[in-house]
Structure 1
């Protein structure tokens, strides 16, 4: 049993060039655990708040006060604690900040510290982080199925298209490495198609192609073309996943697709997305309605929940209480797990357990502002949650997480990969209304 000697924070920089918080947890035996706080661009209103200094310097995004909070009250609360007691450490942090959104300490301060405690505990136990997560929480580890962005949109690409993420999943692959091979082919095929049509503007926040499409459906058609150009049959081994991030373009109950100069109410939005589900091999859809549109989210789940994974991100913000309520309401059938959305590891695992107990899917996810930190690769594996969303297939802050999964595969073996079978609640392996085998 080892105890925490000190907690030290420093300012580092994320993938968008903004300041963020890195924390070292130092044990009495000299072992060190280190983690970095990510930052989101598309944020739910009920998620933990990053504490920024404001003012003119560094676009108001400096983190001096967040660092002081770690080096001061948080460090004082953790010194002398058993590093293996993650719940106790997180509870000590939470006791310092009574606000549910971590307004006093800053979610960036709390999440970096909480993850650093987890890293220190694993190092102290002499095991990999994924193994520590599994053993301490009673989970069976498995290599997750990646959800990988091909086109960025919404807040990740200057809102050049309304939909935030156009992604693929490869549930038909037999190993994590095979997913990477297939994704490589699809990603660069998409780039070639866009380049040839003059639709390519560069690379978006999370590494996906920055598109110049004339409609949101053009993105779907191009993605189908890229899958085919890569030598795959859409809906066979490769399926589509969407992050609608509908809260980003919903105002006063109206959904505004600026790219198409189109304004819809909740019912029309549901019908439009339902048409996409009929026309394309979409296996997963995230935040199809706004976080404030409970009635619409429930109706979408009622109509399509038996055929597609419906993920709550802004709607659930990695909050066990909200997951529990959504289950009672009949809203969603899966939850996105973002540790910085909750603010601590323990709260995130609580939300995961709540989803697991209901038979829901759970997808561990990165943020648009990322770093070289690989914590989520280990969390997704150790929780045995089955899915991991990191971003795209380029940019080192993304690839470092995919590559870490490949290293874990060397230990666990390719057989630990969850692919090779249909995802729950999807139409993969069924026939759509057009009679196309998917």
Structure 2
């Protein structure tokens, strides 16, 4: 009795107060599970389409009643009776039903809600945690998180062009200790900002969003906070940057509109990153160091820095297996950011992770700036053996929910739990050498 019996959808709010979907899948034996769909602000042009109502009389046009209706009518009629334990067949049926290359007809939010809700129902039906159901019962690697502690770009109304400044506690012996190190650093950073008269209001993802003097000052502040918290930069904690350069790219140049108003060619942008890495050896990864439309810039960046740090593609790959394969052929990046709602089904997401593994690319699972309290990405990271995750700061409940889920998984696994920080740290040491 593991067949899909019913689908229900509900228009709920995400962490930015915008509508999104919650989908509940009920199986023939009465087992049910719910998935809540996130939404991005800084989005790639080739992402799967998030269907909105465009009715300005409701939620400024951002309502999702059309997507909700698709779940409860057309999609439900198609998948009722499907075996909930055959995720691949379900997801193929969803893609075929939509019939577009970017899920624009039914909406990626509707399709993902169904795909993920059924995955959760299948796990419950088999009395397994989601990570064991999606992976296998030997899945035991808990990723090293990237904690977003300072926000800029489209995630904050301040003078910083770059979107995210993150820390990763790679030197911790286990996940729970890594979480402690991150929280201590976060509070140390808050104290430093307060002492200097800076605002400690937070941005969309829970990081602080003060008015700062430059795009480099956040790095200096974070390094000071790591030391103040009693930890060693580059040993206990490394830094990760996501400048979201697609948001800066205009007419073939990178425009620092929020800070010094400067313009940089792709070559000058690579020179900028090289100087920054020379100055701050604690930076371990750079996400979206070139814009999604700057293919040549990505290739040059990869040649220049690909053997030095992680270069993670997000907007240029959009968790799309076809696009990702072409990017690998083109020699772009050495890692990929994985976002469920960029592609819209669990199966395609897992395919992208497998492509990364087969080609020696890193894979980092990620939240979105418009989040919910759904913790599925934590389980997915463990299921796929992904060594790194970004899901916001150590503030805001929708972010903390994911971090607390890892604590639960660590406890469930007991002595079998492995923390990926050690492998990240070893690679970091090799790079430094």
The TM-score, its normalising length taken from structure 1, stands at 0.95
Per the alignment, in what secondary structure is the counterpart of residue 228 of structure 1?
Answer: helix
Asked whether the equivalents of residues 190 and 200 of structure 2 are also in contact (C-alpha less than 8 Å), the reply is no
Aligned positions of 1:298-309 closer than 5 A? 298-309=299-310
Partner of 2:321: 320
Structure 2 distance, partners of 1:78, 1:167, is: 41
Q: How does 1:105-254 map to 2 (within 5 A)?
A: 105-135=106-136, 140-158=139-157, 160-254=159-253
Tell whether the 8 Å contact from 2:158 to 2:210 is kept in structure 1 after alignment: no
**In structure 1, what is the Cα distance between the partners aligned to 2:431 and 2:2?**
53
Separation of aligned partners in 1, 2:288 and 2:431: 24
Separation in 1, partners of 2:225, 2:270: 26
Q: Is the 8 A contact 1:319 1:342 kept in 2?
A: yes
Cα offsets for 1:138-173 (capped at 9, x unmatched) = 974411110110101111112531111000011111
Contact 1:134–1:141 (CA under 8 A) maintained in structure 2: no
How many angstroms apart in 1 are the aligned matches of 2:428 and 2:31? 48
Which residue number corresponds to residue 52 of structure 1?
52
Structure 1 position 423, deviation (Å) = 5.0
Deviation, structure 1 residue 54: 1.3
How many positions carry a matched residue from both structures? Answer: 429
Q: Hey, what does 2:278 align to over in structure 1?
A: 278
Q: Considering only aligned residues, what root-mean-square deviation do their CA atoms show, in Å?
A: 1.5
SS at match of 2:135: helix
Comparing 386-395 and 407-416, the one that deviates more = 407-416
C-alpha contact 1:214 1:260 (8 A) present in aligned 2: no
- C-alpha distance in structure 1 between counterparts of 2:347 and 2:135, whole Å: 13
Aligned to 2:391, the other structure's residue is in SS state strand
> Could you say which residue in structure 1 is the equivalent of 2:3?
3
**Structure 2 residue matching 1:421: 3-state secondary structure:** helix
Tell me the equivalent position of 2:80: 79
CA distance in 2, matches of 1:284, 1:5: 45
Matching residue of 1:333 = 334
d(CA) in 1 for partners of 2:78, 2:317: 29
In 1, Cα distance between the equivalents of 2:79 and 2:425? 41
Which digits, 9 at most, give the CA deviation of each residue in 1:271-290, with x for residues without a partner?
10111111111111100000
CA offsets per residue over residues 209-256 of structure 1, 9 Å max, x none?
A: 012101001111111111111112211111000111100111111101
Change (3 A) 1:169 1:25: same
Secondary structure, in 3 states, of the residue corresponding to 1:35?
Answer: strand
Match of 1:95 in 2: 96
1:420 is the counterpart of 2:422: yes
Q: TM-score scaled to structure 2, two decimals?
A: 0.96
1:109 deviates by 0.7
Counterpart CA distance in 2 for 1:410 and 1:141 is 11
